[in-house]
Amino acid sequence: DSETSSLTSYNTDLTDFTPATPEEDLEDGVSREESELRFRQLTREYQALQRAYALLQEQTGGSHDAEREARNREQLLADLIGCQAKIADLEKALAERGQDSKWVEEKQYLIRTNQELHDKVRYLLRLCHSTPSCEPSGWKDTRMGREREHRLPAMGFHMTTFPENSNSALQIFCHQEGIKDVVIPDLMKKLDILGDNGNLRNEEQIVVIQAGTVLSMCEKWLKQIDGTKAALTQKMIDLENETDQFCKQKGFMEEELDYRKQALDQAYMRIAELEATLYSALQQEPGGRAVAESLSDRQREELGLAVDKLRRQILRQSRQYDSQILQERMELLQHAQQVRKGLNLQPPQSKDAVSLLLVCVCVCVSLYFVYSTKPQHFTEVLSLFY
């Protein structure tokens, strides 16, 4: 039907023209037939396309939405333009990054600085472990660490000098070690900037963050070391004061012990004199002889026992007093040893002083024991000690 209506409308259009000659009518007939054939062919193709489109719509199960396709097309075009702009920006950034040699040099400098600080942290940890022992091996490790530090390659960059009013422990340590071209606050700022840089790879960002963490830990560790050093210094001062006081008390004890020995010697001599006087009086005086002869053996034995008892009583009192003094001094000595063990820090001079003090106390006790038990061998033993 559509084909017939189209042909009818086409023929009516042709009849509207003015009459022509026979030759023109023949040419018009031929062209009309060709046009009709072409029109019919195009009509059939159009109908075939309509049927194919209908089948396609049936298979996809949707209807043709021109507005939606237009919106999708516009969205895709916008995304394409955005992606192209991003690609252009990235290419520009890559080009600028390749041309920025200063950034590359700064990155290499930070890598070298991080390596040197890592080596110094290792050296500082070894120094901290070797400081409490105060042994020759610790001094050897310190010397070897300093030699390794002097063999480090020289830094080719010169930054601002170390500020004298800085309170950073790590900065002070670097200044003491002769590294004046590293400023810790500026280095930390640069590490923070590099850590926030999105152009770095993940591994590089991790390395930068780890370097900042190591510097912070070093700062904290150095502060703790300074506090511990100050506390140990104060304890050493207190220990030296206690040692001086103990030495003074030891001198007083030796003087008192000498005084007690002299008093004991005088008492023995007095007893010996009294015995000799009594014996001579009994032997020389007639009345004494009579009294001595009148005494029986039992009475003489009782008199000797009484004299021995009095002698032992005097010696026991003297020994008790001396033992009490020695006990007090030994308690003071034990207290000083406990304080020294608690500090776990004994310089060689203090060790020698304590050892000498212990030897003196042992010698005094031994001499007192020999003098109390066997007075007749006291001089020989004393000469051996000298």
Whether residues 243 and 372 share a domain: the answer is yes
Structural domain includes residue 92: no
Q: How many residues does the chain have?
A: 386
Give the model's pLDDT for residue 149.
44
End residue of a domain, out of 183, 199, 215: 199
Question: In this predicted model, which residue has the larger pLDDT, 51 or 288?
Answer: 51
How far apart CA 67 and CA 75 sit, in angstroms, is 12
How far apart CA 133 and CA 124 sit, in angstroms, is 15
CA-wise closest residue to 186 among 218, 158, 159: 159
Whether residues 256 and 362 share a domain: the answer is yes
The token pair at 342 is 């608690």
Three-state SS string across the chain, please?
Answer: CHHHHHHHHHHHHHHCCCCCCHHHHHHHHHHHHHHHHHHHHHHHHHHHHHHHHHHHHHHHCCCCCHHHHHHHHHHHHHHHHHHHHHHHHHHHHHHHHHHCHHHHHHHHHHHHHHHHHHHHHHHHHHHHHHCCCCCHHHHHHHHHHHHHHHCCCCCCCCCCCCCCCCCCHHHHHHHHCCCCCCCHHHHHHHHHHHHCCCCCCHHHHHHHHHHHHHHHHHHHHHHHHHHHHHHHHHHHHHHHHHHHHHHHHHHHHHHHHHHHHHHHHHHHHHHHHHHHHHHHHHHHCHHHHHHHHHCCHHHHHHHHHHHHHHHHHHHHHHHHHHHHHHHHHHHHHHHHHHHHHHHCCCCHHHHHHHHHHHHHHHHHHHHHHHHHHCHHHHHHHHHHHC
335: pLDDT strictly greater than 70: yes
> Is residue 381 within 8 Å of residue 370, measured between CB atoms?
yes
What are 168-211's pLDDT values in tens digits?
777 777 777 777 777 777 777 777 777 666 676 777 777 777 77
Please state the rounded mean pLDDT for residues 216-239: 84
Structural domain includes residue 124: yes
139: pLDDT strictly greater than 80: no
Least confident of 44-48, 147-151, 161-165, 364-368: 161-165
Question: What's the number of domains the chain is made of?
Answer: 3
Model confidence at 376, in pLDDT bands (50, 70, 90)? low
Whether residues 379 and 249 share a domain: the answer is yes
Whether residues 139 and 8 share a domain: the answer is no
Whether residues 265 and 353 share a domain: the answer is yes
Question: In this predicted model, which residue has the larger pLDDT, 200 or 89?
Answer: 89
Structural domain includes residue 149: yes
Structural domain includes residue 310: yes
């004061």: which residue's tokens? 241
Structural domain includes residue 89: no
pTM of the model: 0.28
305: pLDDT strictly greater than 60: yes
Model confidence at 124, in pLDDT bands (50, 70, 90)? confident
Whether residues 251 and 356 share a domain: the answer is yes
């400081």: which residue's tokens? 131
How far apart CA 141 and CA 236 sit, in angstroms, is 24
278: pLDDT strictly greater than 80: no
Please state the rounded mean pLDDT for residues 289-308: 69
Structural domain includes residue 60: no
348: pLDDT strictly greater than 70: no
Structural domain includes residue 65: no
Question: In this predicted model, which residue has the larger pLDDT, 382 or 172?
Answer: 172
How far apart CA 57 and CA 257 sit, in angstroms, is 125
Range with top average pLDDT, 100-104, 139-143, 217-221, 378-382: 217-221
Give the model's pLDDT for residue 347.
47
Residue 101's Cβ-count burial label (10 Å; 0-12, 13-18, 19+) is exposed
Model confidence at 28, in pLDDT bands (50, 70, 90)? low
Whether residues 268 and 329 share a domain: the answer is yes
Query: How many other C-beta atoms lie within 10 A of the C-beta of residue 132?
Result: 13
**Domain that residue 182 falls in:** 101-199
End residue of a domain, out of 184, 199, 214: 199
Whether residues 336 and 243 share a domain: the answer is yes
Least confident of 2-11, 106-115, 192-201, 254-263: 2-11
Whether residues 114 and 187 share a domain: the answer is yes
Give the model's pLDDT for residue 164.
43
User: b or e along 18-54 (b: 16 or more beta carbons within 10 Å of the residue's beta carbon)?
Assistant: eeeeeeeeeeeeeeeeeeeeeeeeeeeeeeeeeeeee
Average pLDDT, the chain: 67
Whether residues 182 and 305 share a domain: the answer is no
Structural domain includes residue 284: yes
Give the model's pLDDT for residue 280.
64
Model confidence at 154, in pLDDT bands (50, 70, 90)? very low
Least confident of 266-280, 319-333, 340-354: 340-354
Question: In this predicted model, which residue has the larger pLDDT, 299 or 343?
Answer: 299
Whether residues 290 and 357 share a domain: the answer is yes
Q: Percentage of the chain surpassing pLDDT 70?
A: 55
Model confidence at 363, in pLDDT bands (50, 70, 90)? low
